[in-house]
């Protein structure tokens, strides 16, 4: 029997990353957003609003976690991997999309004067059956902003998951230099294709999926060499460990502070490379520092990690429903507060009544598949 260690610190990091997405979206609807953007040019303040950086962290963490079974010696068929992945990601996604469509059709006011451009370009387009089915089946390069804009990451997650077992074979066989070189090739190739053919066109988001393979590979390489990296981190002087942590935070927030007016330093690919390196450093610190590890294992952060996927999926439609219904009836700050409370409450319910049953369904389906294969053999 194979026992795959669960790294609770990484669950907590995912939870905190989800919370930054929630905070960013809450503030993005307000006229105070410009002030927040100005303040967030300070890297450590930007941490609280770093929504895109959080997505990169999700991808790196996915690569790390998805590689653990193979690195632990567990044999897993491709069909078993895909079935469990679809059950884990797709079922909660579909349920929340159906709810988001219903809420948008019921409560959207088609925009509200006085709120930001970001708010007023979402939940405003008329219902479209073709777009609805594209959302339902994750087909094509559909407009992910129509009902729940956070789902843009899930299309990349599912596409990369399909090929990840093949990539993992390469990572297991070759050393880290070849693995990261492969990832760098994917990133450059996908970014160039996107720049050439797909800039500002939703039909070409597949090219970005190729680019994001690199982040999954970074996570997998980290997992493969985690013991070596963690032990070396623990053995360096405390002062250098602090510098290492600060470097990780600065790289993670690179887009907000590093000569932001120099355009060549802030193309999407370069920013995401810097953020990915920051993610890798922060993961090593989280696993290697006894102090940070103990903080991340606190009950609240572990709880936040458990509900992070549901919180990520649910918060946007809670926010937009509350604002469309109560904007002119109650202060904005109260809607922000209610968004957090209701989102966490619904995410908790979703975790227990949607996520866990979905994961268990994936396990049951794969157990049946394995059983049939054994009988056939």
Q: Are 254 and 282 in contact (CB under 8 A)?
A: no
Q: Residue 29 and residue 257: Cα distance in Å, rounded?
A: 23
pLDDT confidence of residue 194: 85
pLDDT confidence of residue 29: 87
CB atoms within 10 A of CB 232: 12
Half-sphere exposure of 359 (CA within 13 A, CB side): 8
> Per the structure block, which two tokens stand in for 143?
């407009």
pLDDT confidence of residue 197: 77
Q: Are 112 and 327 in contact (CB under 8 A)?
A: yes
pLDDT confidence of residue 97: 95
Whether this prediction's pTM lies above 0.85 is answered by yes
Q: Residue 77 and residue 377: Cα distance in Å, rounded?
A: 15
Q: Residue 66 and residue 53: Cα distance in Å, rounded?
A: 20
Q: Are 339 and 315 in contact (CB under 8 A)?
A: yes
194 Cα distance to chain centroid:
20
In the chain, where are the structural domains located? 8-376
Q: Residue 354 and residue 311: Cα distance in Å, rounded?
A: 12
> Angle, to 10 degrees, between the axis of helix 78-107 and the axis of helix 356-376?
150
Please name the residues in contact with 173: beta carbons below 8 A apart, sequence gap of 6 or more.
Answer: none
Residue 44 backbone phi and psi in degrees, to 5: -80, -25
pLDDT confidence of residue 137: 84
Q: Residue 350 and residue 357: Cα distance in Å, rounded?
A: 10
pLDDT tens for the 377 residues of the chain, in order: 456 778 999 999 999 999 999 999 998 887 666 666 666 667 778 888 899 999 999 999 999 999 999 998 888 889 999 999 999 999 999 999 999 999 999 999 999 988 888 999 999 999 989 889 988 887 766 788 899 999 999 989 999 999 999 999 999 999 999 999 999 999 999 999 888 876 555 555 788 999 999 999 999 999 999 999 999 999 999 999 999 999 999 999 999 888 888 888 989 999 999 999 999 999 999 999 999 999 999 999 999 999 999 999 999 999 999 999 999 899 988 999 999 999 999 999 999 999 999 999 999 998 765 555 544 44
Alpha helices in the chain (DSSP H): 8-28, 33-39, 43-46, 51-71, 78-107, 117-120, 129-137, 152-173, 176-193, 205-224, 226-235, 238-252, 254-257, 268-288, 290-296, 299-306, 308-326, 332-350, 356-376
pLDDT confidence of residue 219: 98
């Amino acid at each position: 029997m194979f026992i795959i260690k669960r790294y609770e610190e990484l669950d907590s990091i995912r939870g905190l990353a989800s919370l930054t997405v929630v905070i960013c979206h809450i503030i993005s609807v307000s006229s105070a957003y410009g002030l927040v953007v100005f303040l967030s040019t300070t890297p450590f303040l930007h941490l609280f609003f770093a929504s895109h950086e959080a997505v990169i962290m999700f991808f790196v963490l996915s690569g790390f976690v998805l590689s653990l079974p193979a690195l632990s010696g567990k044999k897993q068929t491709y069909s078993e991997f895909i079935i469990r992945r679809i059950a884990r990601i797709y079922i909660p996604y579909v349920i929340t999309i159906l709810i988001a469509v219903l809420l948008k059709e019921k409560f959207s006011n088609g925009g509200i004067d006085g709120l930001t451009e970001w708010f007023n370009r979402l939940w405003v387009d008329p219902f479209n059956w073709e777009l609805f089915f594209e959302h339902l089946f994750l087909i094509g390069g559909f407009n992910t902003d129509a009902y729940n804009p956070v789902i843009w990451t899930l299309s990349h997650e599912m596409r990369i998951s399909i090929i990840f077992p093949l990539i993992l074979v390469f990572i297991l066989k070759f050393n880290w230099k070849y693995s990261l070189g492969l990832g760098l090739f994917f990133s450059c190739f996908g970014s160039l294709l996107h720049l050439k053919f797909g800039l500002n066109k939703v039909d070409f988001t597949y090219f970005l999926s190729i680019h994001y393979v690199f982040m999954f590979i970074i996570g997998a390489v980290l997992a493969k060499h985690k013991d070596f990296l963690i032990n070396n981190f623990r053995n360096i002087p405390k002062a250098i460990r602090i510098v290492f942590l600060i470097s990780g935070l600065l790289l993670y927030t690179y887009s907000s502070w590093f000569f932001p007016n120099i355009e060549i330093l802030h193309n999407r690919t370069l920013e995401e490379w810097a953020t990915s390196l920051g993610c890798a450093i922060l993961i090593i610190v989280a696993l290697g520092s006894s102090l940070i590890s103990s903080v991340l294992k606190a009950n609240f952060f572990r709880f936040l990690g458990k509900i992070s996927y549901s919180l990520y999926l649910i918060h946007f439609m809670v926010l937009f429903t509350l604002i469309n219904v109560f904007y002119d009836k109650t202060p904005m700050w109260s809607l922000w507060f209610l968004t957090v409370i209701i989102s966490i409450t619904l995410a908790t319910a979703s975790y227990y009544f949607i996520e866990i049953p979905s994961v268990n369904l994936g396990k049951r389906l794969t157990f049946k598949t394995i059983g049939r294969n054994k009988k056939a053999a």
